[in-house]
Amino acid sequence: MNVSALLAANGRKYPDKPALVAGDVEVTYSQWDTRSTQWAFYLRELGIEQGDRVVMLMPNCPEFAIFYVAVIRTGALVVPINARSTQEEVRHICEHAGAKALLVHDALVPIVNEWVLQTPQLVAIKTGTSQGNWQGIADWDATDVSSDEMNAFSLQPYLVNMNEDSEVSILYTSGTTGRPKGVLYTHRSLLTVAKMMSIELTMSHRSRILHLMPLSNSAPLHLFFIAGLMLGATQVMALTFSPQLLLDLVQQHRITHFFGAPVAYLLTMKHPEFASYDLSSIEYWMYGGAPLSKEMAALMEETYGRDKLACVYGLTEAGPTGMCLLHREHPDKIGSIGNRGVLFVEMEVVDERGERCASGEVGEIRLRGEGTMKGYYNNPEATAESIRDGWVYTGDIARVDEDGFLWMIDRKKDVMITGGVNVYPKEIEQLLERHPLIGEVAVVGLPHVEWGETVTAYVVLKSGVDNNRDWLEEIQSFLRGHLADYKLPRQVHIVPALPRNTSGKVLKHVLRDVSSQKEVELR
């Protein structure tokens, strides 16, 4: 079984059923299947072959879904990236992946157009009409392809031989060095985590799944989008998130399942007319991707209902897969991430020797199962460091309580999670070190009641530099164009020196401990 075959089967089983809904646009399962094959045909005509990498810069829209399967049907690897990425970030991923093609939503073309014009070897495709270096899918849709051509294409050997162990996609994350790493998946990885989520949270062909979180992230993409495709569910999507959209779409489309970062829930429950909306269709409100205090989890229970809340824990390298805590089952343990691995997954907390931690001890979470990554793309060293003896070492530090529940303590790799999106301090620090007036810098995540964490920079200025200027604006202006907006520091503190240990390493936990007592206000 593979992702492409699942859509083909559902195209036959549910030909007229709405598969994708976005505003006034509705795509049935048969239409999704047919258009994916047609677009795959044109991708092949443009030279996309088995094993090539195809990067997708698109928000949540039907074109994303159609292209996702179309790329798979060419035998290439699909590489979705965040629609808020900058040109520099897109270029770096394309170059690291050795991308053959770049698929871009029409609205995002201006972000990368300058670089695309300078890169003629890259096959550039956008959702509108053809223009300059860009191929346009509107022209494809206006062109008839003979049934003989389409049948010949659909019978190509690599489509027939595609199986669960075939490589299918790459999602890019970043490590502590600040360099993006490509997480390589097989069909087995995707189908395993999709089946797991379907069973754990009782999704079926009757489900109506809402996508407001970026489908370039592993949790919404694999746990819910692939699960919806597999089950024949109806998937409702929008280009971005807002509290108004969440409330309107749940009520209008009788949504049964929604996944969001905690900030999405915390912002939405402040909507002045929240209580007037009919949200009774929801079976599960799922959240994950950011730290959530016990107090905020309790507040969410009051607003959304204990019986419908579920916390999911995982990481991109694991599929994602990991743990799931249902509030109704363990109301006294909210704030933890659970006490068992989800279906198909083993999880444990171990010390530096790899031995399981006892109650009260702190160690690193590791897990294993068929949903985990095959490895890091073109990075055997990082793969060997992360995957050891079949276990994926998460870099997440947790404490095990007397009942076996895991409580997150910190992250080995210093990753910050703001609004459900990973932000990596080293990436920001390396750019700020280029600033002519900055001597040293350390970036940490400070607690924020809504966003989980807020990006904060501690800066040591060079001798003689005026520290009374607006350094927040200065630093944000310096970084714009190099980083996506969600990675920009929201707080800047000018300090005389950074705390260090005897080896000269910056003690970031000291910065977090001192500053966590301050009120954090996101601008």
Each residue of 197-224: pLDDT tens digit? Answer: 999 999 999 999 999 999 999 999 999 9
Give the Cβ contact number of residue 402 at 10 Å.
Answer: 8
Helix (H, G, I), strand (E, B) or coil at 148: helix
In a domain, 248, yes or no: no
Pairing of strands 167-174, 134-136: unpaired
In a domain, 46, yes or no: yes
Give the Cβ contact number of residue 349 at 10 Å.
Answer: 21
Say if residue 513's pLDDT is above 90. Answer: no
Separation CA 248–CA 494 (nearest Å): 43
Task: Note the pLDDT of residue 504.
Answer: 54
Say if residue 522's pLDDT is above 50. Answer: no
Task: Note the pLDDT of residue 449.
Answer: 78
Q: Which of 162, 185, 219 is the last residue of a domain?
A: 162
Task: Note the pLDDT of residue 519.
Answer: 35
In a domain, 461, yes or no: yes
Of the candidates 175, 182, 183, the residue with the CA atom closest to the CA atom of residue 426: 175
Of the candidates 300, 350, 361, 303, the residue with the CA atom closest to the CA atom of residue 325: 300
Say if residue 442's pLDDT is above 70. Answer: yes
Q: What is the DSSP string of 226-279?
A: HHHHHHT-EEEE-SS--HHHHHHHHHHHT--EEEE-HHHHHHHTT-TTGGGS--
Q: What is the four-CA torsion angle of 408, 412, 418, 420, rounded to 10 degrees? A: -60
Separation CA 31–CA 256 (nearest Å): 23
Task: Note the pLDDT of residue 500.
Answer: 76
Separation CA 262–CA 244 (nearest Å): 16
Rg (CA), the chain: 23
**Secondary structure letter of residue 456 according to DSSP:** E
Identify the CATH number of the domain in which residue 29 sits: 3.40.50.980
Q: Which of 162, 178, 195 is the last residue of a domain?
A: 162
Say if residue 502's pLDDT is above 50. Answer: no
Task: Note the pLDDT of residue 411.
Answer: 65
Residue 265 makes CB contacts below 8 A (sequence gap 6+) with 285, 287, 300, 303, 304
Say if residue 157's pLDDT is above 80. Answer: no
Look at the block and give the residue holding tokens 């394309």. 94
Render the burial of 159-171: b for 16+ CB within 10 Å, e for the rest: beebebebbbbbb
Say if residue 40's pLDDT is above 60. Answer: yes
Of the candidates 228, 183, 215, the residue with the CA atom closest to the CA atom of residue 319: 183
Rounded percentage of the chain residues whose pLDDT exceeds 90: 73
Identify the CATH number of the domain in which residue 435 sits: 3.30.300.30
Its pTM stands at 0.83
Q: Which residue has the higher pLDDT, 147 or 468?
A: 468
Of the candidates 16, 20, 95, 107, the residue with the CA atom closest to the CA atom of residue 57: 107
pLDDT tier, 296 (very low <50, low <70, confident <90, very high otherwise): confident
In a domain, 147, yes or no: yes
Average pLDDT, whole number, for the chain? 90
In a domain, 296, yes or no: no
Q: Which of 134, 162, 190 is the last residue of a domain?
A: 162
Separation CA 381–CA 386 (nearest Å): 9
Helix (H, G, I), strand (E, B) or coil at 25: strand
β-bridge mates for residue 459, sequence order: 441, 494
Say if residue 518's pLDDT is above 70. Answer: no
Q: What is the DSSP string of 437-453?
A: TEEEEEEEEEEETTTEE
Of the candidates 256, 220, 222, 263, the residue with the CA atom closest to the CA atom of residue 238: 220
- How many structural domains does the chain have? 2
Q: How far is CA 238 from CA 83, 260, 321, in A?
A: 13, 13, 25
Rounded percentage of the chain residues whose pLDDT exceeds 70: 93
Q: Which two tokens stand for residue 198?
A: 């379907």
480-491 residue pLDDT tens: 989 999 999 999
**Secondary structure letter of residue 406 according to DSSP:** E
Q: Which two tokens stand for residue 317?
A: 């390298």
In a domain, 193, yes or no: no
In a domain, 68, yes or no: yes
Separation CA 364–CA 393 (nearest Å): 7
In a domain, 103, yes or no: yes
Structural domain of residue 97, as residue ranges?
24-162
**Secondary structure letter of residue 480 according to DSSP:** B
Omega prior to 320 cis, within 30 of 0: yes
114-143 residue pLDDT tens: 999 999 999 999 999 999 999 999 988 777
Give the Cβ contact number of residue 241 at 10 Å.
Answer: 21
pLDDT tier, 501 (very low <50, low <70, confident <90, very high otherwise): low
Q: Which residue has the higher pLDDT, 468 or 436?
A: 436
Give the Cβ contact number of residue 408 at 10 Å.
Answer: 16
